[in-house]
């Protein structure tokens, strides 16, 4: 069992409680941005406890994957919050068990800030493989802030975030996008200089 799997198996019962202040102060107003303009069959990579469920667009179909069965069990309880049908599967983002071009689009919410530097390109390449040519991939991620005040604040709670979630603020996902053969269409901050929404296109 990998360290990431062990960590999320352990934290799953407390995950929503720990995230509650951030969910209602911050995340709920940002999650709809992930799905703007998306249609068809959508992959939710790193679906976690299913917090995106209320924001899935009507008329789409969703496949949610996660490494942790305990997190998926919690996502199962959120099916009724979704306007779209959901299929939930245990799967590793770096080794997706789908044929090429299986999806019209993909989203990932705070997944790439958990992946170590060496896992970034393999994961992005897998998303490129399973999303059709011309399809959209959206990534919502924490990044290391530029402002001194925010950097100080992050430094105080970064050790806890690393221990609890295995996440870091030093992942440079943007730099890996061209290396994975993807096209970056837009990169914008959605919370100060701390949280970034990336819109990526599969070429072809």
pLDDT, position 151: 63
The two structure tokens encoding residue 174: 């943007």
pLDDT, position 171: 78
- The answer on pLDDT for 191 being more than 70 is yes
Q: Which of 108, 88, 113 is nearest to 164 (CA)?
A: 113
Q: Specify the pTM.
A: 0.92
Determine the topology of domain 3-201 in CATH: Rossmann fold (3.40.50)
- The answer on pLDDT for 153 being more than 90 is no
Buried/exposed 168-183: b ≥16 CB within 10 Å, e otherwise: bbebebbebbeebebe
**Domain map of the chain by residue range?**
3-201
pLDDT, position 178: 96
Over residues 100-126, the pLDDT tens digits come to 999 999 999 999 989 988 999 999 999
pLDDT, position 57: 97
Over residues 60-110, the pLDDT tens digits come to 999 999 999 999 999 999 999 999 999 999 999 999 999 999 999 999 999
Within 10 angstroms of residue 5's Cβ, the number of other Cβ atoms is 17
pLDDT, position 70: 96
State how beta strands 41-45 and 61-66 pair: parallel
């Amino acid at each position: 069992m990998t360290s990431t799997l062990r960590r999320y198996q352990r934290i799953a019962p407390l995950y929503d409680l720990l995230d509650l202040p951030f969910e209602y102060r911050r995340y709920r107003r940002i999650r709809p941005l992930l799905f703007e303009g998306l249609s068809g069959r959508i992959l939710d990579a790193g679906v976690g406890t299913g917090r995106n469920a209320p924001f899935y667009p009507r008329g789409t179909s969703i496949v949610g994957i996660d490494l942790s069965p305990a997190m998926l069990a919690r996502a199962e309880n959120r099916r009724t919050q979704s306007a779209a049908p959901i299929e939930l599967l245990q799967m590793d983002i770096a080794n997706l068990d789908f044929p090429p071009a299986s999806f019209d689009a993909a989203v990932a919410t705070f997944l790439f800030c958990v992946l170590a530097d060496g896992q970034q390109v393999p994961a992005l390449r897998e998303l490129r493989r399973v999303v059709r040519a011309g399809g959209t991939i959206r990534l919502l991620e924490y990044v290391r802030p530029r402002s001194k005040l925010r950097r100080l604040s992050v430094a105080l709670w970064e050790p806890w975030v690393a221990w609890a979630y295995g996440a870091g603020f030093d992942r440079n996902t943007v730099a890996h996008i061209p290396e994975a053969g993807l096209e970056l269409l837009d990169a914008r901050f959605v919370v100060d200089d701390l949280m970034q929404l990336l819109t990526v296109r599969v070429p072809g």
